[in-house]
């Protein structure tokens, strides 16, 4: 007797499907054993809780008794939360790409009973539309081919399996240097939309990894097109409809080229990355709009994204009451009824509200008519009006909340909160980062190993490389911000686990899955970014930072091995590997600012907060602590009891600097990387 087995899962996405008439199995060896017993192919459906098109396919097909009957008769059906099993998602998404498909979610793949992919797609409609055949037609044809043409299935499966095997592409030593990075940054800057910001065209994603690379290289190489382009992008994002002007937080992307119409889902990782990047740009440009958006988004994280047991939750859905964006949009009449005609007129003028709306007869609040803030008094008045609308919005049916805690996304949020808290003097933000970090350590660790996902009192699913990479980066950020040596020990201990369980011998690089992950057919290995920086890119930066802090040459050697192992792939698809190239800039020119504690620390810290030093290790040390013996900063001391800075580039350190203005001037000069 068959039945839906998802009711015992903890993933909100899987639980959304627990009442489907489909006989869903969760991912695992039992499902494949059943497929082998029955001789049936596997239908693998991968999505996530905040995915709009996942909901569409679910309502059309998975909730439909007739479609479910065909699925149950012909397939063993497995449902996967891509956020809970990113390694499974990466493996089969790679297979879909090899079939020439663009990819996306829901991911619908057809597998042999032993898990080899042989065909797939994304969203399949119930009825023929968008040039796509009906889902049940696809199901019957795939089943027929599997039954009647097994040789074709075997050939497809073997070809796909060969295509998705990890391939190390080494490159010659002189193929990559600072000139290469500067040239890549300049070429990428030409792809930016000069009017609306971000990459040209639509849809528009924040692309924080690409923007972060352009920002770093723009500063280090003096490329104004890069730094100006990043600021322009962030200002438009901050004023666009992609930002929730009432509650704070950014949606995942905009469907248009102006940042007006968001795909309304809010993801933890996007907001973490944008908090971090906006903080860096604010340090340099002092744009008050960016300061405000950072503060509002952090407050959204702290008020709406803390999971019930601790840690940060994953996402908010795009849909409420089955309608995309319904929670967020307004009619002019609603606003008049809440604010009164006079205040509503002011609000409508600033936030682009009209009788007929700016999207599907409704209004998405935005400030794209002007990139500039109004006077303080006017902004205070707008804040009062927004507060009234925000309070009224609370009575609406809220979008679904995915409150599972993911170690890798929390690592991004922790590092961002530390940077923003240090920069803006908000100790509460740093304390929130520490609380999330402690939650991961207490509830998502077992026998010295991390676990990937936590919800409803259960930590489950094996950690992937991004969990370790992002939590190592978070540990380093907390160590540098607080001086807590235990965090540095955590970073070193987790790096040892990475080497033991994820390192690819003999060429270098980190697999996404651990060596003892037993339920996938292939461990993927890539440095390619998606919406977040790739684990290999993050680890390259981590290894550079650990070598800089500890002086241990083994970290530098590992960084170089990682560079050699993945540089070929990165050069072949440069625009998709900007996280890797950003970390390579640190590897080529490691920058270390050592500050010995003493009188005037606050002034020196204030100077540091007037300069973006992304990728630079800024470390405060006590007089009796000092740098390790194998560090170029070894033996450096405070001068006359004053807070004293030493700027170390590679093996060379500057003379001592004790004045804030002199420190700013020296840092501006030293962060520039000269190219031939």
Domain residue extents for the chain: 6-163, 183-317+402-434, 328-393, 464-588, 591-670
Which residue shows structure tokens 């666009």? 240
- 8 Å CB contact between 348 and 354: yes
Residue 616 is predicted with a pLDDT of 95
Report the chain (676 residues): mean pLDDT per 10 consecutive residues: 86 96 97 97 96 93 97 98 96 95 93 97 89 91 96 96 84 72 96 96 96 97 97 98 98 97 96 98 97 98 97 95 94 98 98 97 97 96 98 97 97 98 97 98 96 95 96 98 97 98 92 95 94 97 97 96 92 94 95 94 92 95 85 89 92 93 93 70
Residue 627 is predicted with a pLDDT of 86
- Provide the 8-state DSSP code for 49: T
Distance CA 411, CA 405 (A): 11
Residue of 422, 441, 442 whose CA lies nearest to 430: 422
Would you state the structure tokens that stand for residue 201, as one six-digit string?
């065209």
Q: Which long-range CB contacts under 8 A does 499-503 form with residues at least 24 apart?
A: 499/558, 501/449, 502/465, 502/468
Distance CA 33, CA 28 (A): 9
Q: Which residues of 193-219 are buried (b: 16+ CB within 10 A; e: fewer)?
A: beebbbbeebebbbbbbbbbbbbbbbb
**Is-same-fold flag (6-163; 183-317+402-434)?**
no
- In CATH, the architecture of 6-163 is 3-Layer(aba) Sandwich (3.40)
Distance CA 42, CA 26 (A): 12
Tell me which fold the domain 464-588 belongs to: Glycosyltransferase (1.50.10)
Q: Which CATH number fits domain 183-317+402-434: 1.10.620.20, 3.40.605.10, 1.10.3720.10, 1.50.10.10?
A: 1.50.10.10
Task: Using CA atoms of 133, 137, 142, 148 in order, give the dihedral in degrees to the nearest 10.
Answer: -130
> Measured in Å, how far apart are the chain's first and last C-alpha atoms?
71
Tell me which fold the domain 591-670 belongs to: Glutaredoxin (3.40.30)
User: 653 exposed, middle or buried (CB, 10 Å; 0-12, 13-18, 19+)?
Assistant: buried
Would you state the structure tokens that stand for residue 289, as one six-digit string?
């709009």
Distance CA 162, CA 154 (A): 12
Which residue shows structure tokens 């001037």? 665
Residue 624 is predicted with a pLDDT of 80
Residue 674 is predicted with a pLDDT of 60
User: 321 exposed, middle or buried (CB, 10 Å; 0-12, 13-18, 19+)?
Assistant: exposed
Alpha carbon 297 to its chain's center: 15
Residue of 248, 246, 212 whose CA lies nearest to 231: 212
Task: Return all residues near 155 (Cβ < 8 A) that are at least 6 apart.
Answer: none
Alpha carbon 27 to its chain's center: 24
Distance CA 488, CA 355 (A): 57
Task: Return all residues near 386 (Cβ < 8 A) that are at least 6 apart.
Answer: 245, 246
Pairing mode, if any, of strands 76-81 and 24-26? parallel
Pairing mode, if any, of strands 117-121 and 449-455? unpaired
Question: What are the tens digits of pLDDT across the range 327-356?
Answer: 999 999 999 999 999 999 999 999 999 999
Distance CA 142, CA 385 (A): 56
- Going from the C-alpha of 392 to that of each of 242, 327, 335, 338, 388, the distances in angstroms are 20, 11, 10, 8, 6
- 8 Å CB contact between 566 and 508: yes
Alpha carbon 480 to its chain's center: 22
Residue 629 is predicted with a pLDDT of 85
Q: Residue 35, preceding bond cis, omega within 30 degrees?
A: no
Residue of 371, 362, 353, 365 whose CA lies nearest to 326: 362
Q: Can you say whether the dihedral through the CA atoms of 496, 497, 503, 505 is positive or negative?
A: positive
Q: In a 3-state reduction of DSSP, which class is residue 435? A: helix
Angle between helix 407-424 and helix 465-482 axes, rounded to 10 deg: 20
Distance CA 281, CA 291 (A): 9
């Amino acid at each position: 007797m068959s039945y839906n087995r998802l009711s015992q899962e903890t993933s909100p996405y899987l639980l959304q499907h627990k009442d489907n008439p489909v006989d869903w199995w969760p991912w695992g060896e039992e499902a494949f054993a059943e497929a082998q017993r029955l001789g049936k192919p596997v239908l693998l459906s991968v999505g996530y809780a905040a995915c709009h098109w996942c909901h569409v396919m679910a309502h059309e097909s998975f909730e439909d008794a007739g479609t479910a009957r065909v699925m149950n008769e012909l397939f063993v059906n497995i449902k996967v939360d891509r956020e809970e099993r990113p390694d499974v998602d990466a493996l089969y998404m790679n297979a879909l790409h090899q079939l020439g498909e663009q990819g996306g979610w829901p991911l619908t793949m057809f597998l042999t009973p032993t898990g080899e992919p042989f065909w797939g797609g994304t969203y399949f409609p119930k009825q023929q539309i968008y040039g796509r055949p009906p889902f049940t037609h696809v199901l019957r044809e795939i089943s027929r081919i599997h039954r009647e043409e097994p040789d074709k299935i075997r050939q497809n499966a073997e070809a796909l399996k060969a295509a998705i095997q990890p391939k190390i592409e080494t490159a010659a030593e002189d193929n990559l240097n600072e000139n290469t990075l500067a040239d890549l940054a300049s070429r990428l800057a030409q792809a930016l939309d000069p009017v609306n910001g971000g990459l040209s065209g639509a849809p528009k994603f924040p692309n924080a990894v690409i923007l972060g690379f352009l920002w770093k290289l723009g500063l280090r190489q003096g490329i104004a097109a890069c730094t100006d382009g990043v600021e322009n992008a962030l200002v438009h994002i901050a004023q666009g409809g992609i930002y929730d002007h009432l509650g704070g937080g950014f949606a995942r992307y905009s469907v248009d080229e102006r940042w007006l119409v968001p795909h309304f889902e809010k993801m933890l990782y996007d907001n973490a990355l944008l908090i971090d990047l906006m903080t860096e740009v604010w340090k340099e440009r002092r744009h008050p709009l960016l300061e405000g958006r950072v503060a509002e988004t952090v407050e959204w994280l702290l008020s709406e994204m803390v999971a019930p047991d601790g840690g940060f939750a994953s996402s908010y859905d795009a849909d409420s009451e089955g309608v995309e964006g319904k929670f967020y949009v307004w009619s002019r009449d609603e606003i008049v009824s809440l604010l009164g005609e006079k205040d509503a007129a002011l609000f409508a003028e600033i936030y682009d509200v009209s009788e007929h709306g700016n999207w599907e007869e409704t209004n998405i609040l935005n400030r794209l008519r002007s990139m500039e803030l109004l006077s303080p008094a006017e902004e205070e008045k707008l804040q009062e009006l927004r507060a009234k609308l925000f309070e009224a919005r609370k009575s609406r049916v809220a979008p679904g909340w995915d409150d599972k805690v993911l170690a890798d996304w929390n690592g991004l949020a922790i590092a961002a909160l530390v940077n923003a808290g240090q920069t803006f003097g908000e100790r509460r933000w740093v304390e929130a980062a520490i609380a999330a970090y402690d939650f991961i350590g207490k509830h998502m660790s077992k026998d010295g190993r991390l676990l990937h996902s936590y919800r409803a009192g259960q930590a489950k699913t094996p950690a992937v490389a991004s969990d370790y990479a992002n939590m190592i980066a978070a540990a380093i950020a907390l160590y540098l911000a607080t001086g807590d040596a235990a965090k540095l020990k955590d970073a070193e201990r987790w790096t040892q686990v990475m080497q033991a369980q994820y390192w690819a011998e003999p060429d270098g690089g980190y697999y996404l899955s651990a060596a003892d992950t037993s339920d996938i057919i292939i461990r993927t290995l890539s440095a390619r970014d998606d919406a977040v920086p790739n684990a290999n890119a993050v680890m390259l930066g981590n290894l550079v930072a650990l070598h800089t802090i500890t002086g241990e040459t083994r970290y530098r050697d590992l960084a170089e091995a990682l560079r050699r192992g993945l540089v070929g792939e990165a050069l072949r698809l440069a625009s998709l590997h900007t996280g890797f190239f950003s970390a390579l800039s640190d590897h080529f020119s490691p920058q270390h600012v050592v500050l010995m504690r003493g009188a005037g620390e606050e002034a020196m810290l204030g100077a540091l907060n007037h300069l973006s030093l992304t990728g630079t290790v800024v470390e405060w040390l006590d007089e009796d602590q000092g740098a390790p013996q194998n560090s170029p900063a070894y033996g450096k001391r405070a001068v006359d009891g004053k807070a004293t800075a030493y700027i170390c580039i590679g093996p060379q350190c500057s003379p001592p600097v004790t004045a804030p203005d002199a420190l700013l001037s020296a840092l501006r000069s030293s962060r520039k990387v000269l190219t031939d």
